[in-house]
Copies of this chain bind each other. A is one copy, B any other.
Amino acid sequence: MEFEQLADVLKALGDTTRLKIVALLNIRDCCVCELVPLFGISQPAVSKHVSRLKSVGLVKETRKGMWVFYSLNKEKLKEIGFALTQLPDLTNELKQLEKKGLLVKCQSRS
């Protein structure tokens, strides 16, 4: 996974409210009206949080009449956890820089 993409998802997860929403959706699907009273913030605020999670692919929505049920994309969450253990390998990039003499090594190195 690319750095920017991964950083975007991590940033989306890097908020207590959104992280709790994700943990809740991990137990069961919820609609916005169920989430609102749990967080002590306004309905639009919850709506925006959920929307942000959706925009990075962590959450899917299903309309059921008046309600929109949000569910966790568990595969995506697993992917992210895995990506942290397998960060993009920059070894080749570093070697490229070294070839071009662009890799700075500070004087303390042998």
Interchain nearest-CB distance for A33 vs B (Å) = 5
Q: A23-B88, A81-B85 are in contact. List 10 more A-B contacts (CB 8 A).
A: A3-B16, A11-B11, A13-B14, A27-B91, A36-B104, A37-B104, A38-B97, A65-B108, A81-B84, A84-B84
Inter-chain contacts of A36 with B (CB < 8 A)? 104
Residue of B nearest to A33 (CB): B106
Using an 8 Å CB-CB cutoff, how does the interface string of A13-31 with B read, 1 for contact, 0 for none?
Answer: 1111011101110110001
Contacting residues, chain B, for A22 (C-beta < 8 A): 87
| CA A104 to CA B36, docked complex, whole Å | 9
Count of identical protomers in the assembly: 2
Contact A90 B27 (CB under 8 A): yes
Cβ < 8 Å to B, chain A residues 20-70: 20, 22-24, 26-27, 31, 33-34, 36-38, 64-67
Pair A23/B108 contact, Cβ less than 8 Å:
no
Bound together, the chains give a CA A97 to CA B37 distance in angstroms of: 11
